[in-house]
Amino acid sequence: MEKFNTIEFELSKKIGTVWLNRPEIHNAFNAVMLKEIIECYSEINKMNNVRVVVIRGRGKSFSAGADLNWMRDVAKYSYQENYNESLIVSECFKTIYTCKKPTIAIVHGAAIGGANGFIAASDYAFTEENTTFSLSEVKIGIVPACISPYILKRVGEFGTKDLMLSGRRIKGNEAEKYKLVNKSLPESELNEYLEKIIRNLMTSGPYAMTSCKNLLYENANLNSFYSSIDYTANQIAERRASKEGQEGMASFLEKRKPNWIIK
Amino acid sequence: MKNYTNIEFELKDNIGTVWFNRPDKHNAMNDVMISEIIDCFEEINNMDDVRIAIIKGRGKSFCAGADLNYMKGIAEFGYEENYQDSLRLAKCFNVIYTCKKPTIAVVHGAAIGGANGILAACDFVYCDDETKFAFSEVKLGITPATISPYVAKRIGEYGARDLMLTGRRFLGKEAESYRLVNKSLAAEELYEHVNSIIKVLMTSGPDAMAACKTLIYDISNTLTFDESINYTAKMIAELRASKEGQEGMASFLEKRKPNWVK
């Protein structure tokens, strides 16, 4: 993995952690950071020694969202350039959403505007109770466009309207109630909870998790209800005949641990 | 704005309030009232001095649903007329759902049958804890047809199966737990809560809110996930170059209020 300027990648015990690393400006993102995140997740997809991916922020905040100096200046470029830079934002969230490994966002301090795209696009999001969340784009005359597909998937259409039109600030527990995050915890319990979830994910078959993410992607985004019947039958037919599926079922029947468990 | 006979429109401090005004019938909806609601929301879309639209009911109830005298009577006409009238009902909910301004339903007393289409189609719904809700259509041998798209968006398919097949009565708190309403509050706290939301909405950019509603509509109803990537990039490219977006970002960076905040 290359060295990055605005993020940092750390690998330990098959857990890859992506640190947002512009603490002096609360990890606000610009085009450079987005491109580095895209590159980092693309690499992670190819790394067999990464089983789980965590994204979190250095310093006081998870992320303050888009760097407004960058946002304002981009608008002064030609429309095509402005549009191309906007596409990087969309591509970044999509890269996280389609990551082949399970992804976890650990949120603290503040998650403002676009920061919620990193969170919502991850498979799991856990937050400290005192984190401040806000979809505040309409307060500055813009819209939370690129993050909206992922927020909508988590929060639903009417919860999304509530948070996006008002731009009001909410804390961790309300974010949990809206299902923007999976769980909100006291600061002192967050890391322990994360370790517990990771331990659990480490006992899941790595290929099974990748194909499970694929299954959910296709059912949520591509299949009609009718086409899902045939599609899902194909999926299980393939998985149970696969090497990993055979090993997993054998280990269960033989009352032993499957071979992907790290001793 | 025209004068209406079954509803009343009130404009104050850039807030437009649509009052259901048949208190003697618990604001049950007949053909005249339905046409007036459609007309009123179309007008609101064109009024620059309305930043928020609110729906409330006069008297003891928010709304008792469709006026059954009218429902029974219309079915005795030919199928085509019956169908055209039903289309108007469907349009009534759709015109609220697609209103360009943020919409808030403030619900009290009772919200029966079709009344739930009015509230479910609004962006925000707040009710008094004592409000009685029921999808009682199947009790009368009919179905909650024209309201179902909006109710299902709010409470999901299986929540809809529960409430629509049983037709059972439930109160505000349960409506909140089903997400039919955003929040249920004690009667004495309801207006204060609604006012706090209004205050927050008044600090949002008016064009940005209209664009945000279009965004959520398109992501929810018309675009596939793959299409949403280019669509959302285009939208933010346009909005950040817009007059309101430039003013908003400038005001933030200059630590002053944007020009739409009084």
Q: Which of B182, B237, B245 is nearest residue A141 as measured by Cβ atoms? A: B245
Question: What one-character DSSP code corresponds to residue A49?
Answer: T
Asked if A86 lies within 8 A of B237 by C-beta distance, the reply is yes
Strands B183-185 and A52-57, by their bridges, are unpaired
- The ipTM assigned to this model is 0.90
Residue A40 near residue A9 (C-beta atoms within 8 A): yes
Asked if B123 lies within 8 A of A161 by C-beta distance, the reply is yes
The pLDDT of residue A60 is 98
Residue B42: count other Cβ atoms within 10 Å of its Cβ.
Answer: 11
Count CB pairs under 8 A between chains A and B: 164
Confidence of residue B2 (pLDDT cuts 50, 70, 90): confident
The pLDDT of residue B105 is 98
Per-residue pLDDT reduced to its tens digit, B128-138: 999 999 999 99
**A75 pLDDT above the threshold of 90:** no
The pLDDT of residue B246 is 94
Average pLDDT over residues A132-151: 97
* Assigned token pair, A107: 């949120």
**B252 pLDDT above the threshold of 90:** yes
* Assigned token pair, A208: 């099974």
CB contact set of B97 (below 8 Å; sequence gap of 6+): B121, B150
The pLDDT of residue B251 is 95
From the list A42, A41, A22, the residue with the least C-alpha distance to A32 is: A22
A165 to chain B: closest CA residue: B209
Confidence of residue A233 (pLDDT cuts 50, 70, 90): very high
Q: Which of A89, A142, A149 is nearest residue B245 as measured by Cβ atoms? A: A142
CB contact set of A201 (below 8 Å; sequence gap of 6+): A51, A52, A102, A209
Secondary structure (3-state) at A128: strand
**How far, in Å, are A113, A174, B34, B64 from residue B58 at the CA level?**
39, 32, 16, 12
Average pLDDT over residues B229-245: 95
- Mean per-residue pLDDT of chain B: 96
From the list B120, B116, B64, B65, the residue with the least C-alpha distance to B97 is: B120
> Which residues in A have their CB inside 8 Å of a CB on B?
68-69, 71-72, 74-76, 79, 82-83, 85-87, 89-91, 94, 137-146, 148-149, 152, 156-162, 164-168, 220-222
Per-residue pLDDT reduced to its tens digit, B74-102: 888 899 999 999 999 999 999 999 999 99
Cα separation of A115 and A62, whole Å? 8
Confidence of residue B45 (pLDDT cuts 50, 70, 90): very high
Per-residue pLDDT reduced to its tens digit, B167-185: 999 999 999 999 999 999 9
3-state secondary structure chain B: CCCCCCEEEEEECCEEEEEECCHHHCCCECHHHHHHHHHHHHHHHHCCCCCEEEEEECCCCCECCECHHHHHHHCCCCHHHHHHHHHHHHHHHHHHHCCCCCEEEEECCEEECCHHHHHHCCCEEEEECCCEEECCHHHHCCCCCCCHHHHHHHHHHHHHHHHHHHCCEEEHHHHHHCCCCCEEECHHHHHHHHHHHHHHHHCCCHHHHHHHHHHHHHHHHCCCHHHHHHHHHHHHHHHHHCHHHHHHHHHHHCCCCCCCCC
Q: Which of A72, A90, A142 is nearest residue B233 as measured by Cβ atoms? A: A90
Average pLDDT over residues B188-196: 98
- Mean per-residue pLDDT of chain A: 96
**B220 pLDDT above the threshold of 90:** yes
Per-residue pLDDT reduced to its tens digit, A16-57: 999 999 999 999 999 999 999 999 999 999 999 999 999 999
**How far, in Å, are B4, B8, B56, B64, B107 from residue B18 at the CA level?**
11, 6, 6, 16, 13
The pLDDT of residue A31 is 95
Per-residue pLDDT reduced to its tens digit, A76-117: 889 999 999 999 999 999 999 999 999 999 999 999 999 999
**A2 pLDDT above the threshold of 80:** no
- Ranges of H-type helices in chain A: 31-46, 68-74, 79-97, 115-121, 148-155, 157-166, 172-177, 187-202, 206-221, 225-241, 243-253
**A263 pLDDT above the threshold of 80:** no
The pLDDT of residue B216 is 98
What are the backbone angles phi and psi of residue B169, rounded to the nearest 5°? -85, 140
| Amino acid present at B114 | G
